[in-house]
Amino acid sequence: MADSLVIEVVAGPDAPERCNQAFTVAAAACAAGVPVEVWLNGEAAWLAVPGRAAGLVLEEAAPLTELLEIVLEAGQVRVCTQAAARRSIDPADLIEGVTIAGAAAYLERILREGTRTLVY
């Protein structure tokens, strides 16, 4: 098993099944004790704004708000700097515990030995 897992989510309300799957995998990894970082990019950046995750509903899937809570309790959630800027999302707009970080931080994180990366 990997020492840690980085999941980049580029799908948001525009692709609910793919988005929910990313958070399902992240929450399962957290439950298994794997250190997890979820990076929100593109339309997924909106999920870091309070109330937005509740708008993504998918039949036969755990609610995205619950999955996001699990990841925030056991892991980390970051929003891509450029994705946030393109959507005029400021740090004050984010759910508590979510941060904004750039490409250098993302690269530093995914290049660590023992890290697996998934993109949804």
User: What is the set of domains in the chain, with CATH numbers?
Assistant: 4-119 (3.40.1260.10)
Average pLDDT over residues 108-120: 95
Average pLDDT over residues 25-31: 97
Average pLDDT over residues 40-53: 96
pTM of the prediction?
0.93
CB 47 within 8 A of CB 64: yes
Q: Which of 40, 42, 8, 17 is nearest to 119 (CA)?
A: 8
Q: Which of 63, 68, 2, 74 is nearest to 31 (CA)?
A: 74
Per-residue pLDDT, 66: 96
User: Maximum CA pair distance of the chain?
Assistant: 38
- What percentage of residues in the chain have a pLDDT greater than 90? 92
- Confidence band (pLDDT; 50, 70, 90) for 46? very high
Per-residue pLDDT, 29: 97
Q: What is the rounded CA–CA span in Å between residue 9 and residue 95?
A: 17
Per-residue pLDDT, 15: 93
Half-sphere exposure of 62 (CA within 13 A, CB side): 15
- Confidence band (pLDDT; 50, 70, 90) for 13? confident
End-to-end CA distance of the chain: 20
Q: What is the rounded CA–CA span in Å between residue 73 and residue 98?
A: 11
Per-residue pLDDT, 57: 86
